[in-house]
Structure 1
Amino acid sequence: MSSSERFARRLFTVCGIYGLIALLPQYFMEQRLGQDFPPAITHPEHFYGFLGVALAWQIAFLIMAREPLRYRPLILPAVLEKLGFGLAALTLFALQRAPALVALGGAVDLLMAALFALAYWRLGSSNSARTERT
């Protein structure tokens, strides 16, 4: 296994586990979030829908970690998934519409997006080198 594959395996494993730890507890925090960060959630279907989609991606990251070269095409939508929240969170924070904690989460997602893009690039380079040798 190449160093690029090891990097991608570790990256997607860590990100998948981190995401599960960060997101799962939120299923039980709707009321608390409304108290700590008013106003209360007025459209719970958006809140739980976001959590469901985000959790599905964490499972996808763990699957991708098993065979990153095989699942390389999925890295591009994974980058978009991270950019979607990261850019929105930082923009809302800049507009004073989201707290610093949300901006921190957005910054973490932007870092992951950059690392996912790096993994995509490295896996492509690794695969090209392997193909040329055979």
Structure 2
Amino acid sequence: MSPGTARWLFRGAAIYGLIVLLPLYLLEHQVAAPAAALAHPEYYYGFIGAAAAWQLVYWTIGGDPVRYRAFMPLGVIAKFGFWIPTFLLWLNGRTPTSTFAVTNVDLLLGIGFFVAWWGLKAPA
């Protein structure tokens, strides 16, 4: 993968992630409350904040993919760290198909991040 393609991949992932995550700050009662009483809202808001911070890491990697190549495997772990549990929950009937379908974007991005890492040469 060329540095230019990796740049677009990581910057696109960052933009997509922020578009998906930031509205959740305003949707606690629609997203979290129907599932169960939200006894610890700090987990809900903490997840959004931590995930949004990762989008800024992806943006930074996209700014200079060769320089920040060492961080790419962490992005793979972050993407698979969300997709794998959601997949397992879906298999066990504990999350709806619609939620699982949306998380498949994370699977594709995780694979893309791995391909970018594998395909770029480490800086000299």
Query: Could you state the TM-score of these two structures normalised by the residue count of structure 2?
Result: 0.92
Structure with greater helix share of residues: 1
CA distance in 1, matches of 2:94, 2:23: 23
- The counterpart of 2:118, out of the listed 117, 121, 128, is 121
CA shift in 2, pair 1:78/1:34, >3 Å: closer
Contact 2:8 2:62 in 1 (8 A): yes
- The counterpart of 2:95, out of the listed 95, 98, 104, is 98
Q: What letter matches 1:93 in structure 2?
A: W
Flag the structure with larger Rg: 1
Contact 1:87 1:106 in 2 (8 A): no
Q: Which runs of 5+ in 2 are unaligned?
A: none
Contact 1:86 1:107 in 2 (8 A): yes
Q: Figure out how many residues of one structure are paired with residues of the other and give that number.
A: 124
Q: Which residue of 1 aligns with 2:25?
A: 27
- The percentage of aligned residue pairs carrying the same residue is 37
Say yes or no: does 1:61 pair with 2:55: no
Q: What letter matches 1:57 in structure 2?
A: W
Paired residue secondary structure (2:2): helix
Q: How well do the aligned residues superpose, as a CA RMSD in angstroms?
A: 1.7
Superimposed CA distance per residue, residues 91-133 of structure 1 (whole angstroms, 9 cap, x where no aligned partner): 1111111112220232111111000000001113xx58xx6xx
Say yes or no: does 1:38 pair with 2:2: no
Q: What letter matches 1:16 in structure 2?
A: A
CA distance in 1, matches of 2:32, 2:58: 30
CA distance in 1, matches of 2:107, 2:4: 21
CA distance in 2, matches of 1:40, 1:33: 11
